Amino acid sequence: MSLAWKVRSGTEEVPDGWELRRVGDLVSLTNGYPFPSDNFGPTGDVPLVRIRDLGDGPFETFVTGFVPPSVLLRDGDVVIGMDGDFNLVLWNKGRAALNQRLCLLRPRAGVDIRFVAYALPAALKIINDLTFSTTVKHLSSSDVLSERIMLPPLEEQRRIADFLDAETGRIDGLTGMRRRQIDKVAERYSTFLSELVVPGSGAPGDRHPLWPWLPASVATARLGYLARVQSGVTVHGARDRGSDDAEYPYLRVANVQGEWLDLSEIKTITIPVAMARRSTLRPGDVVMTEANGNPDNLGRGAVWTGEIPGMVHQNHVFAIRADRRRLIPDYLSALLASSHGRTYFRFTSTQVGIATTSSSKVLDFPVPTLDLRRQREVVKEYEANRATTRRVTDALVRQLDLLAERRQALVTAAVTGRLDVSTASGRGAAQ
């Protein structure tokens, strides 16, 4: 049982001089206001805070007209998103109006709100874990107010909050540095790959008459002359089963993650043998999705290597089968991942909600023509750099995970009295 669970259940020993208190006894809670959407705009009287605005980004929406004084945020308020992940922030972005489905907390006498901001997220996570929902999870005001946290005297609250401000600030600084490094690694990989498959793609000069992001000197061939696109299986839940039906592993959109495949969860589908035969993947097929919520990722394709025999694919997943005498699948995958591939599919996509493409647009993709020897050279460099990039990125992600664990352990130990902040440096605490 986690420490947060023990505190919630009352089985954790309360340190001398501390109390187990209801959050409702420590703070006042104000719910956000249901502003009319007609009053929203990119400019206005007051910035509007929605759940999506709890991050570090700039305000996107402003509200004009009446704003109840009770929902005007000020620095030092605790703000909680009451849908989704129940995120909590200590507000520091100045005067703003609080929209519905958020609440703000302000301290009563004898309470340092920073201590509450550090102690409460663990309890909110437990509520989130216990809340069942098929769509978005919801938090109520009574849920927040009825939670209990351990509370030391005010001076100790301040010491703990000061300590955690300093130590979490140091950890957050390292976290930000690692994230910037991950972004830089991805940027360098993208630049390398784009220059590898289309030399001179980022240099000034004459441009291709049909594809203006390509140099004029690049000769291309339509992908449809070098490969064909295989259609996938359409799921019909109400279809009657036949005598020739069989069960097959089934590659879905969720399994296709750009240049790689996530095969950790494979579902099965029962369909006629003839239908499966028309939609079975073969080693060397390049699979890509028909739609993507991020237009920059539309068109990326991974090479199927036959990890699971008899795999069929969903109709929203394209299987591109190259003529191996003219086109190497891994070369095509590299092209699709390059800025050339991303730009083509962004340029030709249909965007109504999410970016989508079609088999005809896939077949129209302009492939820079290289002989097989040069394609193999490109693939060799591509695979080596991709492997190095993946190793470096994985190492940085592991460091992010360790920093997050370290931060949480430090906060939990401090707000439950397991860590004496008057003697701890933070670096050796909560080990």
CATH number of the domain located at residue range(s) 152-205+373-431 in this protein: 1.10.287
Nearest to 160 by CA among 348, 368, 370, 414: 414
Give 257-316 pLDDT, tens digit per residue: 989 999 999 999 999 999 999 999 999 999 999 888 777 778 888 999 999 999 999 999
Give 9-49 pLDDT, tens digit per residue: 667 789 999 999 999 999 999 999 999 999 999 999 999 99
**pLDDT above 90 coverage of the chain, percent:** 79
Which amino acid appears at position 49 of this protein?
Answer: V
Contact 195, 203 (CB under 8 A): no
Q: Which of 180-194, 197-211, 236-250, 288-302 has the lowest mean pLDDT?
A: 236-250
Per-residue pLDDT band at 352 (split at 50, 70, 90):
low
pLDDT value at 122 more than 90: yes
Q: How far is residue 177 CA from its own chain's centroid?
A: 18
Intervals of CATH 1.10.287 along the chain: 152-205+373-431
Q: Torsion angle of alpha carbons 20, 25, 28, 34, nearest 10°?
A: 80
3-state helix, strand, coil in the chain (%, to 5): 40, 25, 40
pLDDT at position 27: 98
Intervals of CATH 3.90.220.20 along the chain: 3-151, 220-368
In whole angstroms, give the CA distance from residue 22 to residue 177.
Answer: 37
Give 51-71 pLDDT, tens digit per residue: 999 988 899 999 999 999 999
Mean pLDDT value of segment 154-180: 98
Superfamily designation of domain 3-151: DNA methylase specificity domains (3.90.220.20)
The DSSP string of 173-217 is HHHHHHHHHHHHHHHHHHHHHHHHHSTTTTS-S-B-SS-TTSBTT
Cα 359 to Cα 60, 255, 292, 356, 427: the distances in Å are: 36, 19, 15, 10, 55
Q: 3-class SS at 97? A: strand
In whole angstroms, give the CA distance from residue 191 to residue 230.
Answer: 31
CATH number of the domain located at residue range(s) 220-368 in this protein: 3.90.220.20
Mean pLDDT value of segment 317-338: 96
Mean pLDDT value of segment 379-406: 98
pLDDT value at 194 more than 70: yes
In whole angstroms, give the CA distance from residue 273 to residue 276.
Answer: 5
Contact 357, 320 (CB under 8 A): no
Q: 3-class SS at 343? A: helix
pLDDT at position 430: 46
Phi/psi at 198 (5° precision): -135, 85
Q: Torsion angle of alpha carbons 156, 159, 164, 167, nearest 10°?
A: -140
Per-residue pLDDT band at 135 (split at 50, 70, 90):
confident
pLDDT at position 1: 56
In whole angstroms, give the CA distance from residue 431 to residue 172.
Answer: 18
**pTM, two decimal places:** 0.83
Q: Which residue has the tokens 């669970």?
A: 5
Mean pLDDT computed over every residue of the chain? 92
Mean pLDDT value of segment 106-126: 97
pLDDT at position 239: 61
**Residue 277, both tokens:** 């035969």
Cα 20 to Cα 80, 122, 146, 271: the distances in Å are: 22, 15, 12, 58
Identify the burial level of 311 via C-beta atoms within 10 angstroms of its C-beta, where 0-12 means exposed, 13-18 middle and 19 or more buried: buried
Per-residue pLDDT band at 7 (split at 50, 70, 90):
low
Per-residue pLDDT band at 240 (split at 50, 70, 90):
low
Contact 289, 318 (CB under 8 A): yes
**Mutual angle of helices 339-348 and 154-197, in 10-degree steps:** 90
pLDDT value at 415 more than 70: yes
Phi/psi at 377 (5° precision): -65, -45
Which amino acid appears at position 238 of this protein?
Answer: A
Give 199-209 pLDDT, tens digit per residue: 988 788 888 88
